[in-house]
Structure 1
Amino acid sequence: MRLSFATGLAVLCLATAALAGPPEEPRVLNDIPKIGRPGGELRSLIGRPRDTRLFFAYGHARLVGYDLKLELVPDILASYEVQDGRIFTFHLRKGHRWSDGEPFTAEDFRFYWEDVAQNPELSPTGPEVVLLVDGEKPKVEILDERTVRYSWSKPNPLFLPAIAATTSLEIYRPAHYLRQFHKRYADPAKLDQLVKETRSRDWVQLYLRKDRLDDFDNPDMPTLQPWMPTTAPPAERFVAVRNPYFHRVDETGQQLPYLDRFILVVADPKLIPLKTGAGETDLQARHLAFKDYTFLKESEERSSLRTLLWPEGRSAHLALYPNLNAKDPVWRKLFRDRRFREALSLGIDRETLSQYLYFGLARPSNNSLLAESPLYRKEYGERCTAYDPDAANRILDELGLKRRGSGGVRLLPDGRPMELVVETAGEDAEQADVLELVRDQWQEIGLKIHTKPSEREVLRNRIFAGETLMSIFYGIDNGTPTVAMPPKDFAPTSQADQPQWPKWGQYHETRGEAGEPPDLPEAKELLDLYQQWERTADPAGQRAVWERMLDLYTQECFTFGLVENVRQPLAVRANLRNVPEEAIFNWEPQGQIGLYRPDTFFYDK
């Protein structure tokens, strides 16, 4: 049988593991619940081949990462220093190697900065925005083979959180591997031949197909993660094997990861709960929902899996987003009036939502913070969550919306019925069930709603164009922020992630080239505060900005959070150890399970 280059390399690495090993200065994990033993494989089900990126998310090796207390610590780096919030000096581990055995050095940082981030063909929009401070690029200095320094004239508090994120900023590349695909280094004839062989459009497309650091779909590309890929797409089963040069060890000096192989198997997302119940996975959370919990518990004897329930980490499981940039001038004016938003929020009975859909386990939410965040205050979390239809009706009357038409539906100032469509991405039945209950509750205050599902991309375009008046989607992704994390979710900073003000978010993202500047005083103040945080390196100053933003944001009811603390089922092979019994489940910054270090998971028998 003839082995592919990638498979042969993987076999060779495993066979010569005794010749490999961690760096001379490994990262020692002293808080592993139970010291494990090497061996075994872990299977998990995914809904599409693109989800190979989960190898990167679950591996969760970062230059600087979060510990379990969400404090920043060196991980891939041996250490780092920060001066005045603007000078960052990174020290690499002595003897650290890529998964193919080649040294990991400062050259890998230089290559990325000079030949990728600043190459106009590979990066036509320039370096990542978090690498720019008021448009200023960093000064990147290679001090020696294991020391790199980034500096700006002003503080850059976005830098380290971006590096530590699940969807992280990766400021290095395996230069020794990628040079062969780069016009600056490759032999022109060989490069042309590679372009033809791979049917690439040009050298740029060839390079981008090979540079897959966080996509994990190029098995020839070296990695620093705990497992390295061996399977190239197209495939239905993606196998990653242990990286023989991984930098972490347990307190006995045993190199991690314990597990030899991590396998992702593609399946129809609708069938994943059934396949989990049949025991066709060893660790599963993706494509499982709270509604699957009873079935999974009943299947435990057959599947040999135990079912855990982890609290979700979003600020709200679901939220309603009135479009403050709506094209319709009447609705736009109403949505921009805090009193109108407050009235709609008062008309939602969140406790009933919890009882009917989540067995009473979920809590009312306003889409701001969870109590687990060190920034949480009770007044922040409880604003805009009360249910008081009498007060809601009174406010709407005071706004001049007393007149009612057929069925008790109020009339808008221009005489139209106060009737709107709440649009959804149509990806699950849960949103429709929630809207059914909300529809009945809002009927009591004279607002009639309809539900319209769309493809996610179609819905986003309608929101951007102002055609969608209101949408339902997940709440703010990170419900447990710390002072050191940027408060971008509480100001108009994103077009795609903030459907309540897409044009204002687009204006910020494009630096004024598209969209509209915020013209609502409170939204403008939130953006000014966020930009103040960006210029602040002092933790006390950052906290002050955070607190003012949270105080203002939660008073304004910009979005209508519904419930929080919806539980995420996690099906775990019965003898798989070091998986927490309960932990926050979220993409940012937890990486779903990545923060809890799957490299320390092992089988007891």
Structure 2
Amino acid sequence: MTTSQLTRRGFLYGAAAVSGAAVLAACSNGDGGSSSGGSSGGGSQAKGSATKALPKPKKFQQSPSLKDLPPVEERLPDNPYVIPHKWVKPGKYGGKLNMNTVTTTGAAKSASDREFFYGHSMLRYLNDGQDIGPGLAESWESNDDASEWTFNFRKGLKWSDGKPWTTADIMFWWEKLVLPGKMAQVPPDDARSGSGEIAKIEAVDDLTLKMTFDTPAPMTADKLAAWANGGNGDNGPIWMLPAHYVKQFHPDHGKNVPSDWDGVDGVMTTKSDWHRNPDCPTMTGFRCKSFDNNKGVVLERNPYYWAVMPNGDQLPYLDEIQISVVTDPEAGKLQVQQGSVDYCQGSFNQITLGDVKGLRDSSEKAGTEIVLWDSGSGTGSIFFFNYDYVDPDIRKLIREPKFRQAVSLAFNRDAVRKSVYFNTGEKTTGTLSPKAKEFQINDEGKKVYTDWRDAYVKYDPEKAKQLLEEIGVKDADGDGMRELPNGKKLKLRLDYQADQSSEHTSKDNQLVSDLKAVGLQMVKNPIPPQTFGDQWETGKLMGHTNWEVGDGHPLIYAGWVVPVQYDHWAPLQGHWYQLLGTKTLKTELDVDPWKRHPPRLEPEKGSPVAKLQDLYNKARVEPDEMKRTQFIWDIFKTHITDGPFFMGCVANYPQVMIIKNGLQNVPRHENLALGGFVNPWIHPTPAVYDPECYFWDKPDEHS
């Protein structure tokens, strides 16, 4: 998740930071839990979720509003998904949930409701990503070397219009859109082997799907549990479409289908998006009732949703969810303070720790409670150099580990932790999320994490100066600023997106000041957001800020630790990896790498990038979990010995949740297996906590 979404208007410094920390402590009651209990799930202290499927309830109940439909038993699958969370309790039907989302691109691209629902996913993450449970697939298995996977789906699944769900709905997406490359669809990583080859996907029957890979694909189940699927590919692969409905918009089946049917605004693209087309069936707990890109979306109960509570209540409990679009973060914050927002996940509303005091002061009038979940961030606001920067002199310096280590040691993270994160979280060199499975698995994994976290975290300007001297970066002309080893002027440039939040700006100002203190000149350089990505991947930009690393498993999302794509710290070498096995890779080999189409650079043999990619390739095809984990640890250890390749400041700071009093079954910090895991897209929050089970203690007051 990019923390440009986590905007803060102004920071409280000095004594105000201490005050802010006190407010946070009051909100969390010391452990992130509720201080008032006003909207907790009955005050439950139960922790985590069951990892084995719960038994089928003996009887089922439904919302009174569905009394004119067929009996609930006929609308549910033979074995519905039973909510496994230990903190939930039976609820009441009815009421509306009001939300807002801050976006300048309209409701169609809003992240809020796309991260809200897990309904289109075959499998689901449980216990903050530590476990995988069933979803649409009731069971699954693989052969011994994990090259063949079989998924068995629930009998009796139905789309929101009551039509049967079958594997034909997956095959339509795969055969009509993905394989021919229509509607900008490409094979997701879920469907690629360790060698990068596309899997063979076949429907054995209406309820059985088989995926066959050319090499072991041990991470298939993990990948299928990641993201919130079904949203036209915005926050995860689509994976399935209601073929009985969308066929009419495909030229192979429909009549008078326009030639641009699969374009950005084509009829298939818009009509197949359940989120903005009320006529499009969905498998999520809520279906679209109305949509206005400028105003927002209203979602209503899906009467055929396939999940129930342990007592047999068909979900969801709420009648409707209304999500209003807000373009100004301050206006959205004001709505929260006035009490017109019932549920707010700060990461979608640009509400962060700096806003807590104001929200706390207005909470009694607004009837709200502030709850803190762990962000799971491995970095907080991040900084990294472009390892493939176009200028050879600067590039050589950037690739020198002692230079990057000196920069990290010169950075005063204590100051940032105090002024930006209100003394929460833990100082870090910059790692993947501390919630990552590889860090939780045993004591060795925990040690790998702490070694990486602490490797270059110490604020030690004298050590930084020593390292710079050792590599010949000295003040040759006596002006107080250091030159390159060849005597040329050294001017570092911190490129950043011009619309970045003040969270990153504050950190950047600290970094620039700290580097000046050790004789390194760094100049901030704003770049138009529309062109930043293109300039970065072509090697024209020197530094990157305004992101954070919230992800865990590197075999699901590897980009931060292994250059396998062009977004991160070695863009040209990442692009080379992406093109392996393609015809494009072999073209323009006699052209300067920075002038190729696309720009790409082959990693040098024996280089850290080559080593990281080799370890990644081995890990991807290793069926044995502990051997696979060892490869991943070796990746992390390379970041210690040859890094840091990216630099963070504060890990696992809290994320802010605002909850209206009376909203039940919303978990607290103490209910969640790892205290929460909010930031990464691959662990979709709050979908992993099943908001379909949220309910009002007095539904009539929220109608």
TM-score calculated relative to the size of structure 1: 0.90
Alignment match of 1:28 (pick from 79, 82, 86): 82
CA distance in structure 2 between the partners assigned to 1:14 and 1:302 by the alignment: 35
CA distance in structure 1 between the partners assigned to 2:299 and 2:66 by the alignment: 12
Pairs within 5 Å for 1:320-469: 320-376=383-439, 377=447, 378-405=450-477, 407-425=479-497, 426-469=499-542
Alignment match of 2:622 (pick from 536, 544, 555): 536
Greater mean alpha carbon deviation, residues 538-547 or residues 29-38: 29-38
Aligned residues of 1:316 and 1:367 also touching (Cα < 8 A): yes
Aligned residues of 1:306 and 1:571 also touching (Cα < 8 A): yes
Aligned residues of 2:190 and 2:224 also touching (Cα < 8 A): no
1:474 and 2:528 are equivalent in the alignment: no
**RMSD, matched Cα:** 2.4
CA distance in structure 2 between the partners assigned to 1:321 and 1:448 by the alignment: 16
**CA shift at 1:13, angstroms?**
9.0
5+ long unaligned stretches in structure 2: 1-62, 228-234, 440-446, 586-597, 670-675, 699-703
CA distance in structure 2 between the partners assigned to 1:142 and 1:325 by the alignment: 44
Pairs within 5 Å for 1:261-272: 261-270=320-329, 271-272=331-332
Aligned residues of 1:32 and 1:250 also touching (Cα < 8 A): no
Structure 1 residues 306, 382: closer, same or farther in 2, change over 3 A? same
**CA shift at 1:217, angstroms?**
1.7
Alignment match of 1:559 (pick from 613, 638, 646): 646
Aligned residues of 2:108 and 2:293 also touching (Cα < 8 A): no
**CA shift at 1:524, angstroms?**
0.8
Structure 1 residues 495, 35: closer, same or farther in 2, change over 3 A? same
Aligned residues of 1:226 and 1:246 also touching (Cα < 8 A): yes
Q: Could you tell me which residue of structure 1 aligns to residue 285 of structure 2?
A: 226
CA distance in structure 2 between the partners assigned to 1:438 and 1:524 by the alignment: 30
**CA shift at 1:332, angstroms?**
0.4
Greater mean alpha carbon deviation, residues 97-106 or residues 568-577: 568-577
CA distance in structure 2 between the partners assigned to 1:331 and 1:473 by the alignment: 22
Aligned residues of 1:259 and 1:599 also touching (Cα < 8 A): yes
CA distance in structure 2 between the partners assigned to 1:350 and 1:341 by the alignment: 15
Alignment match of 1:171 (pick from 236, 239, 245): 239
**CA shift at 1:452, angstroms?**
2.3
**CA shift at 1:488, angstroms?**
4.6
1:501 and 2:570 are equivalent in the alignment: yes
1:297 and 2:360 are equivalent in the alignment: yes
Structure 1 residues 280, 551: closer, same or farther in 2, change over 3 A? same
CA distance in structure 2 between the partners assigned to 1:37 and 1:491 by the alignment: 48
Q: Could you tell me which residue of structure 2 aligns to residue 112 of structure 1?
A: 173
Structure 1 residues 202, 169: closer, same or farther in 2, change over 3 A? closer
**CA shift at 1:104, angstroms?**
0.4
Structure 1 residues 203, 503: closer, same or farther in 2, change over 3 A? closer
Q: Could you tell me which residue of structure 2 aligns to residue 4 of structure 1?
A: none
SS in structure 1 opposite 2:173?
A: helix
Q: Could you tell me which residue of structure 2 aligns to residue 8 of structure 1?
A: none
Q: Could you tell me which residue of structure 2 aligns to residue 5 of structure 1?
A: none
Aligned residues of 2:353 and 2:422 also touching (Cα < 8 A): no
TM-score calculated relative to the size of structure 2: 0.78
Alignment match of 1:259 (pick from 313, 318, 329): 318
Greater mean alpha carbon deviation, residues 379-388 or residues 447-456: 447-456
**CA shift at 1:415, angstroms?**
3.5
Q: Could you tell me which residue of structure 1 aligns to residue 299 of structure 2?
A: 240
Structure 1 residues 219, 587: closer, same or farther in 2, change over 3 A? farther
CA distance in structure 2 between the partners assigned to 1:448 and 1:101 by the alignment: 65
Superimposed CA distance per residue, residues 227-285 of structure 1 (whole angstroms, 9 cap, x where no aligned partner): 11122333403101111111111111101111111111011232212221111211112
Amino acid at match of 1:355: K
Alignment match of 1:209 (pick from 270, 289, 292): 270
Structure 1 residues 99, 522: closer, same or farther in 2, change over 3 A? same
**CA shift at 1:162, angstroms?**
2.9
**CA shift at 1:361, angstroms?**
1.5
Structure 1 residues 571, 526: closer, same or farther in 2, change over 3 A? same
Structure 1 residues 288, 39: closer, same or farther in 2, change over 3 A? same
Number of equivalenced pairs: 579
Structure 1 residues 476, 53: closer, same or farther in 2, change over 3 A? closer
**CA shift at 1:495, angstroms?**
0.9
Aligned residues of 1:362 and 1:563 also touching (Cα < 8 A): yes
Q: Could you tell me which residue of structure 1 aligns to residue 210 of structure 2?
A: 149
**CA shift at 1:184, angstroms?**
1.3
1:590 and 2:683 are equivalent in the alignment: yes
Query: Higher relative contact order at CA 8 Å, sep ≥6: structure 1 or structure 2?
Result: 2
Greater mean alpha carbon deviation, residues 237-246 or residues 446-455: 446-455
Alignment match of 1:569 (pick from 642, 652, 656): 656
Q: Could you tell me which residue of structure 1 aligns to residue 139 of structure 2?
A: 79
Superimposed CA distance per residue, residues 31-80 of structure 1 (whole angstroms, 9 cap, x where no aligned partner): 34222122111111112323445323211231111012421111111111
SS in structure 2 opposite 1:561?
A: coil
5+ long unaligned stretches in structure 1: 1-10
Aligned residues of 1:27 and 1:247 also touching (Cα < 8 A): yes
Q: Could you tell me which residue of structure 1 aligns to residue 231 of structure 2?
A: none
CA distance in structure 2 between the partners assigned to 1:277 and 1:122 by the alignment: 41
Greater mean alpha carbon deviation, residues 217-226 or residues 21-30: 21-30
1:275 and 2:360 are equivalent in the alignment: no
Structure 1 residues 36, 126: closer, same or farther in 2, change over 3 A? closer
Aligned residues of 2:374 and 2:654 also touching (Cα < 8 A): yes
Superimposed CA distance per residue, residues 545-586 of structure 1 (whole angstroms, 9 cap, x where no aligned partner): 111111112332111112222222111111111212222321
Q: Which runs of 4+ in 1 moved over 4 A?
A: 11-15, 120-123, 404-407, 484-488
1:180 and 2:248 are equivalent in the alignment: yes
Structure 1 residues 365, 571: closer, same or farther in 2, change over 3 A? same
**CA shift at 1:22, angstroms?**
2.2
CA distance in structure 2 between the partners assigned to 1:326 and 1:136 by the alignment: 30
Alignment match of 2:561 (pick from 490, 504, 514): 490
SS in structure 1 opposite 2:637?
A: helix
Aligned residues of 2:249 and 2:261 also touching (Cα < 8 A): no
Q: Could you tell me which residue of structure 1 aligns to residue 32 of structure 2?
A: none
Aligned residues of 1:130 and 1:162 also touching (Cα < 8 A): yes
Superimposed CA distance per residue, residues 137-194 of structure 1 (whole angstroms, 9 cap, x where no aligned partner): 32333222211211123212343333222233333221101111111122xxx324xx
Amino acid at match of 2:521: K
CA distance in structure 1 between the partners assigned to 2:111 and 2:278 by the alignment: 13
CA distance in structure 1 between the partners assigned to 2:198 and 2:466 by the alignment: 54
Aligned residues of 1:91 and 1:146 also touching (Cα < 8 A): yes
Amino acid at match of 1:73: G
Q: Could you tell me which residue of structure 1 aligns to residue 632 of structure 2?
A: 546
**CA shift at 1:372, angstroms?**
3.2
Amino acid at match of 2:252: R
